[in-house]
Structure 1
């Protein structure tokens, strides 16, 4: 994703242009580009007017298969005063800044998917997804999304992530190439390629394949979480400092990654199994995110869209000195 700082009205136009460029790059026509530009303008304007400045993330998803349409995602994050009454703020005509009060309504009408989290004193996060041709985005029992950003000052992220959904299993994989920049990105991309050869295999099999295949690269920290949807069990394995966490009805558990660097040193490759109950989240983070985060401070956030969850965690816990990936898999209760 691209990250844009929006702290001044002069930066709104730049946000609009960049969002339209992303839409054009994934095949959006002029009408759909116009929708994306409008949503970006409203989100960026809200960051200035209501959020005291903030961050606009713009990304895209390629089609999953034949006949599918690409998606543009926009995520606005601020640490402003937040909303006391979200429902009131979503109604056309409601305004706290002397405007016509139609901005959020316009975003909702132009988007195929909209989500929001806000609380007094905790800032606001708003997500809008737009699909080419206004194709519907049906709800899914298992969904996954991630924020992946380069270290400030770098052009590319040394992190990468991937998700695979099968009939009975789902797998989430994150790689953090050693260091930063193009060589780190090369290592993490190769890790993703190796993962995709057998993405739903047991974590130990995936890790052994990735460890052997990364030897020509500078190496990476890697982790995979494989969820058995029927048994409601997560099998997890990691090499290096990817942090894995389960947030479920029965509590929060930090999963175990072992020391090492895939492609260079891995004294032990092992998987650990964790049962999960009810609606559950699997969160995998590279070390660009601080370790002190907890969803307890954000009432209601755990039930929101995975990308909204990832965005809030990045907003509030990013170290700012490293590449950053926060990937969130959400599985509904059976």
Structure 2
């Protein structure tokens, strides 16, 4: 499996508050695509996708932002665009070439849908719109493009989404995310190095190296091994999760939270144990919850405010994995802290 190196750059972001930000987004997408290992015409395709999504935000949306990041489990790039409204009343028309409300050529979203290997979009009036476009290297698997207006229903099986953002005015990100396929199913980790900046990032890199060295171990053993690896760092909060058929196993220490979403039902929260991995590790314990196909689990650090899950809007709770982390970061992020979120969809 191809995956980002432990020191791979975190999620990049561009706030679309002026038309000049559209050009900045395109240039950054081209650079990020190259860092993600995409060659040939793919960096230019990434720039075109980012430009179209950013331009759409500039013309139609309020408080728009574009996130650029490597894919969590494959060699490729993801461009995510989110806003706070007003949403699209006629999504299918907006995806049709030639449809425009601004006297332009009307090829924006339709072009993104054609160029991207995977395209997912949800919109609701007046809540806003979220869209994810993914480009993968030749030979890498890609799901078929989809576009739905946030209707009720189960989440697509096997989807993954993530975001990992440094604190405001910091270049190094003290949070980290990794996902691995193991014999038992899918295993993932979210790490939040204590504090922020380079010292926090060093602790997180040590935790990610430990995780990638033996992701198939029992979660409690993996937590203990991570604790030993972090003894000479400032420590971290660590959340480990394993998806098996119909179930989720979680072992967490510190401020890593898990929220299980099932369309039509209230969110279910699973808390970590108090402590700091690397300093004062409590006896690791594993919690188990049902997570069948059509349900979604979200792990996030305390850089995402916990209150989002107390009374979330139906628009948010129906978002699929590729969109939910970015929307939560956009709406509920603590700017002075690193923020990470990982969404995993249950398996049969």
TM-score normalised to structure 1 length: 0.91
Please give the per-residue CA displacement for 1:152-210, whole angstroms capped at 9, x wherever unaligned: 10001100011112344211211100010111001011111111222122221111111
Query: How far apart in 2 are the matches of 1:91 and 1:62?
Result: 30
Pick aligned residue for 2:64 from 29, 32, 54: 54
Please give the per-residue CA displacement for 1:14-55, whole angstroms capped at 9, x wherever unaligned: 111111111223343342222111111111111110113411
8 Å Cα contact 1:174-1:223 kept in structure 2: yes
8 Å Cα contact 1:151-1:324 kept in structure 2: yes
Give the structure 1 partner of residue 172 of structure 2.
Answer: 156
Give the structure 2 partner of residue 255 of structure 1.
Answer: 270
Query: How far apart in 2 are the matches of 1:196 and 1:181?
Result: 22
1:165-204 matches, cutoff 5 A: 165-204=181-220
1:240-251 matches, cutoff 5 A: 240-248=254-262
- Count residues in correspondence: 325
Per mean C-alpha deviation after superposition, the further-off stretch among 164-173 and 110-119 is 164-173
Query: How far apart in 2 are the matches of 1:56 and 1:213?
Result: 35
Residues 300 and 258 (structure 1 numbering): CA distance in 2 closer, same or farther, change over 3 Å?
A: closer
Pick aligned residue for 1:276 from 269, 286, 291: 291
Query: How far apart in 2 are the matches of 1:103 and 1:301?
Result: 27
8 Å Cα contact 2:324-2:343 kept in structure 1: yes
Gaps of 5+ in 1: 65-69
Q: Find out whether 1:5 has 2:21 as its counterpart.
A: no
Pick aligned residue for 1:111 from 107, 116, 121: 116
Per mean C-alpha deviation after superposition, the further-off stretch among 123-132 and 195-204 is 195-204
Structural RMSD (CA):
2.1
Query: How far apart in 2 are the matches of 1:115 and 1:193?
Result: 31
Gaps of 5+ in 2: 1-10, 145-155
Q: Find out whether 1:312 has 2:327 as its counterpart.
A: yes
Q: Find out whether 1:23 has 2:33 as its counterpart.
A: yes
8 Å Cα contact 1:237-1:256 kept in structure 2: no
SS at match of 1:16: helix
Give the structure 2 partner of residue 87 of structure 1.
Answer: 92
8 Å Cα contact 2:296-2:346 kept in structure 1: yes
Query: How far apart in 2 are the matches of 1:94 and 1:171?
Result: 43
Pick aligned residue for 2:241 from 222, 225, 232: 225
Query: How far apart in 2 are the matches of 1:266 and 1:300?
Result: 34
TM-score normalised to structure 2 length: 0.87
Query: How far apart in 2 are the matches of 1:62 and 1:227?
Result: 16
Give the structure 2 partner of residue 67 of structure 1.
Answer: none
SS at match of 1:307: coil
8 Å Cα contact 2:78-2:133 kept in structure 1: yes
SS at match of 1:142: coil
Query: How far apart in 2 are the matches of 1:261 and 1:315?
Result: 27
Give the structure 1 partner of residue 50 of structure 2.
Answer: 40
Query: How far apart in 2 are the matches of 1:147 and 1:18?
Result: 17
Query: How far apart in 2 are the matches of 1:13 and 1:30?
Result: 21
SS at match of 2:277: coil
Q: Find out whether 1:266 has 2:281 as its counterpart.
A: yes
